[in-house]
Structure 1
Amino acid sequence: TAPKILWVQENEPEVYRKIRHILLPKDYVRYRLTGEFAVDRADGSGTILFDLQRRDWSPEVLVALGIPLDWLPKTYEGPEVTSRITAEAARLTGLREGTPVCAGGGDQAAQAVGVGAVRPGIVALTLGTSGVVFATTDQAFIEKEGRLHAFCHAIPGRWHLMGVMLSAAGSLRWYHDTFAPDLSYDELIAPAGDVPAGAEGLLFLPYLTGERTPHPDPLARGAFAGLTIRHGMAHMTRAVLEGVAFGLRDSFELMRSAGLTQIEQVRVSGGGARSPIWRQILADVFNVELVTVNTTEGAAYGAALLAGVGVGVWPNVDAACAATVRSTGATHPRGEQVKRYEKIYPLYRQLYPALKELTHQLSGV
């Protein structure tokens, strides 16, 4: 948010001079429903205007950027009631006047609540078009080079680290649509289960739309490396699944280097999580138990749990998750496969630096 505000100041000064309040999109909806200016601390900490330790706006940053504090809304913890539906909003929407509105959270913070990743050691993995690795912490960890997002959690007194991969299941969708559009995803993936770990020396770099974590590089590009005449479609499919898994592991490694030493379990959701073959590859690459849960709409479900805590259905977020979120299956890492991937992962890590200069040149062709 902060760079956008500065962009408006520099490029649209007439608009900047009219600013009286700054709200995130969902908080503008809150304002229209309740007449109150408010933001949750999870979303607020993503503006670059926050003091993570204090869990509130940073006076130092605001002064440095010339942004008045009174432009910004009051901050609240995720389960707190910020306001109530007004009579006018009730008339326009059909909602009941006086209905409490809670602070809530950003999409990934609410997603983590929705799958029960609410304490240190439990990591949420969203395997959608993009891939998100979300780790709850009990203190404000910082990755010194800025390759991980560090935010307040939607849960009072907790924070989180987050890594984002731009083309996770999106890589598989591209591969399917380009090379095997007539096959179902199950038909495409099944033969990959018979290919040994490492796809007999074939690697896939999943940077099809640039990358964010661990390389914030819009000019990064994807690649198959190691293709030989012995490789068939099943090998290429497995290489895609493994390449995404390696790319997601990069976030885990950065989190460990930032001080997150305890990872007991990964709770996976998203379209890619439906594949048992892919789940097994992920468990083997991460060397950690991978669990699916009973909630399929994680972010919306998490927002509902936060609201339930806010109105007293449960005493706190931990209790809400314990009462509603259940494991539906577990995939455990296999010792021999883990050892195999420990040898292959360093080779994958060499791909980006080896290809960086070339792909940057190709982006201009």
Structure 2
Amino acid sequence: MLLLGIDLGTSSIKVSVVEAATQMCIASAQYPDKESGIISHNLGWAEQKPEMWWEHVQQAILKVHSIGNYNPADIAAIGIAYQMHGMVVVDREKNVLRDAIIWCDSRAVEIGASAFDAIGHQQCLMHLLNSPGNFTASKLAWVKQFEPQVFDRVDKVMLPGDYIAMKLTGEITTSISALSEGIFYDFLRDSLSDDVMNHYGFNTDLIPSINPVFSKHGELTVEIASKLSLKKGIPVTYKAGDQPNNALSLNVLNPGEVAATAGTSGVIYGVTDQLNYDHKSRINPFAHVNYMPHEKRLGWLLCINGTGIMNRWIKDTLSPEITYSQMNLLANEIPVGSDGLSVLPFGNGAERILNNLQLGAHIHNVDLNKHSNAHIFRATQEGVAFAFRYGLDIMRSNGMHPNVIKAGSANLFLSELFIDAFVNTNQVPVELYHNDGSVGAALGAGIGAGIFSTPNEAFANLRPMKIIEPGNDSAYDAAYLLWKELLNNQLIYKEQEVLCQ
């Protein structure tokens, strides 16, 4: 029996086919080969076409079939992981009404801040565990305010994974986990938030049917099954945001367990059973995949928008002809601290850990007689690791103290330099695993379909491929303190600039 997992990323779609009996991935494919772009009509805006996602999902599924080492008719269930906090709106005929406003779009920051003030800071934090911020509900409010002709035609608002499930099955559903990441959910009442819906003037009919994460979200239609060489009626039995899904794929489900990723954005995600919140909403608790009203499981999410995207920009701008491996070899020749060069990697929209400021990316202390491309390569990866440390210190101040961090061997965690900087800057061991989001989504589908009786059964064969322990390299401490001083100076300047506007 086989399971199909779809991971809808910002850059591409990855799909995997997993054998349920062994939990082993037997085939994977990614589409497109070149990273998908982001549409940015104005500063701080970020959009993608949902129709592009759907075309790429189809192409990725057909591509994995072409490998030819399994029978597509043996696929029994489908799971979907997706980029979080996006917004897709459709009319009654399920037609997309505008491009999706995605996770790193910053246009709704002021709308969310006004809602925070109007509803009341304590009311929001007690019930939503967050400020309305720049999340999906505030993005929909932006559409209502600035594109009323679009809003008037909206029948349903969805997260990106809800849209892909709709295209596969013709049905529109969501979950508590999805609603919480969109800041539509009241945790104290365990219901849709009256505060948010009333403040923004949203009708509850805009919200799709609410199903458990692990449950049937529709069945593959005859037309789509034929087009994708799959059996009709295959159920979609799992949908989750990419970070809760990454945690699931690493078997991070219980209080105190922590996962991390460093793709386009970077995340540390720690599980708790407490309805806690950060008073400044710099880190954000959402309902985890296994959240139940009678058994709370929330994921504290520390997000840094500019991680892998910063690394890619530096490579493509300075040395587009080299590979990431070559880039890492050059960076490794430079000592810890990059000979005083520092990079602030905050150029991908409003950063929550910086109170939703759009700081921009910065390269500091360039010495024209000393520094080379290799220095910038190293300083970029160190800057990302230092941004993680800055955010992790916020998590620690809120009671989250990880003893170990689990991560998949992918993206920046493929770089030994980055791993060394991450582990030694944060002074927390890292366990690396052969896994990815599409495999996690496939195993999630197996849980939702009842093929596995428990999540632990789905991950019974999961073992770390490598464990990296921190050392006592004081050079990282010195480099981090310099980096933090530069960040604080830049924050003071930016805050004064905002006040003067």
TM-score w.r.t. the length of structure 1 is 0.85
Aligned twin of 1:331: 468
Q: Is the 8 A contact 1:211 1:218 kept in 2?
A: yes
Residues 111 and 53 of structure 1, relative CA distance in 2, 3 Å threshold: farther
Provide the C-alpha distance between the structure 1 equivalents of 2:150 and 2:314, rounded to a whole number of angstroms. 44
Name the amino acid aligned to 2:284: H
Structure 2 runs not aligned, ≥5 long: 1-135
Q: Would you say 1:318 and 2:456 are equivalent positions? A: yes
The alignment yields a C-alpha RMSD, in angstroms, of: 3.0
C-alpha displacement at 1:334, in angstroms? 0.9
Residues 264-286 of structure 1, C-alpha deviation per residue, up to 9 Å, x if partnerless? 22324432222222211211111
**2:380 is matched with which residue?**
240
Question: Which residue does the alignment assign to 1:281?
Answer: 421
Say whether 1:112 aligns with 2:247: yes
Per-residue deviation, residues 170-211 of structure 1 (Å, max 9, x unmatched): 333333333334444333323543543223433222233455
Aligned to 1:51: 186
CA deviations on 1:212-239 (whole Å, 9 max, x unpaired) are: 1422222433122264745455444332
For the 8 Å contact 2:432–2:464, the answer to whether it is kept is yes
Structure-2 change in CA distance of 1:97 and 1:200 (3 Å): closer
Query: Unaligned stretches of 5+ in structure 1?
Result: none
**Pairwise mapping of residues 203-282 of structure 1 onto structure 2 (< 5 A)?**
203-215=342-354, 216-225=356-365, 227=367, 229-282=369-422
Instruction: Return closer, same or farther for 1:285/1:90 CA change in 2, 3 Å cut-off.
Output: same
Partner Cα distance (2:162, 2:409) in 1: 26
1:40–1:103 CA contact under 8 A, matched in 2: no
| Structure 1 residues 335-354: aligned runs within 5 Å | 335=472, 337=473, 339-354=474-489
> 1:158, CA displacement in angstroms?
1.7
Q: Which amino acid aligns with 1:8?
A: V
| Alpha carbons 1:42, 1:153 under 8 Å: kept | yes
Alignment of 1:118-197 (within 5 A): 118-156=253-291, 157-197=296-336
Q: Is the 8 A contact 1:144 1:258 kept in 2?
A: no
Shift of the 30–238 alpha-carbon distance from structure 1 to 2, 3 Å rule, reads: closer
Aligned residue among 447, 452, 469 for 1:309: 447
Which of 223-232 and 325-334 deviates more?
A: 223-232
Q: Deviations over 1:311-351 (max 9, x none)?
A: 2222222332233x32111211112x1x4333432321121
Count residues with an aligned counterpart. Answer: 358
CA distance in 1, matches of 2:226, 2:369: 68
Letter of the structure 1 residue corresponding to residue 183 of structure 2: I
Mean Cα displacement is larger for which, 354-363 or 243-252?
354-363
Partner of 1:61: 196
Quote how far apart the aligned CAs of 1:154 are.
1.6
TM-score by length of 2: 0.64
- Pair 128,96 (structure 1): closer, same or farther in 2 beyond 3 Å: same
Alpha-carbon distance between aligned partners in 1 of 2:377 and 2:489, rounded to the nearest angstrom = 23
Q: Work out whether residues 237 and 446 of structure 2, in 8 Å CA contact, stay in contact via their aligned partners in 1.
A: no
Change (3 A) 1:300 1:140: farther
Distance 2:495 2:205 in 1: 43
For residues 50-97 of structure 1, what are the alpha-carbon distances to aligned partners after superposition, in whole Å with 9 as ceiling and x for unaligned?
A: 123555422332233222223312323321223334556556655434
| 8 A Cα contact 1:131 1:168, kept in partner | yes
CA distance in 2, matches of 1:185, 1:22: 38
Inter-CA distance 306–231: structure 2 relative to 1 (3 Å threshold) = same
Cα distance between partner residues in 2 of 1:223 and 1:26:
36
CA distance in 1, matches of 2:182, 2:192: 10
Residue 160 of structure 1, CA deviation: 0.9
Secondary structure in structure 2 of the residue aligned to 1:241? helix
Could you give the per-residue CA deviations for residues 18-42 of structure 1, whole angstroms, max 9, x where no partner exists? 4443333432443454454311222
**Offset of residue 356 of structure 1:** 4.2
- Percent of aligned positions that are identical: 29
Distance between the aligned counterparts of 1:192 and 1:102, measured in 2?
Answer: 44
* C-alpha contact 2:161 2:240 (8 A) present in aligned 1: no
TM-superposed deviation, 1:125? 2.1
Deviates more, 1:164-173 or 1:225-234: 225-234
Query: Measured at CA, do residues 99 and 113 of structure 1 come closer, stay the same or move farther in structure 2, by a change above 3 Å?
Result: same
CA distance 1:263–1:40, change in 2 (3 Å): farther
More displaced, 279-288 or 157-166?
A: 157-166
Q: What residue identity is the alignment partner of 2:146? A: N
Cα 1:178–1:71 change in 2 (3 A) is closer
1:164 partner amino acid: C
Shift of 1:142: 1.7
Greater CA drift, 93-102 or 69-78: 93-102
Kept after mapping to 1: 8 A contact 2:404/2:430: no
- For 1:300, the aligned partner's letter is S
Segment drifting more, 77-86 vs 161-170: 77-86
Q: Check conservation: 1:120, 1:262, Cα contact below 8 A.
A: no
Alpha-carbon spacing, 1:33–1:191, altered in 2? closer, same or farther (3 Å): closer
Residue 260 of structure 2 aligns to a residue whose secondary structure is strand
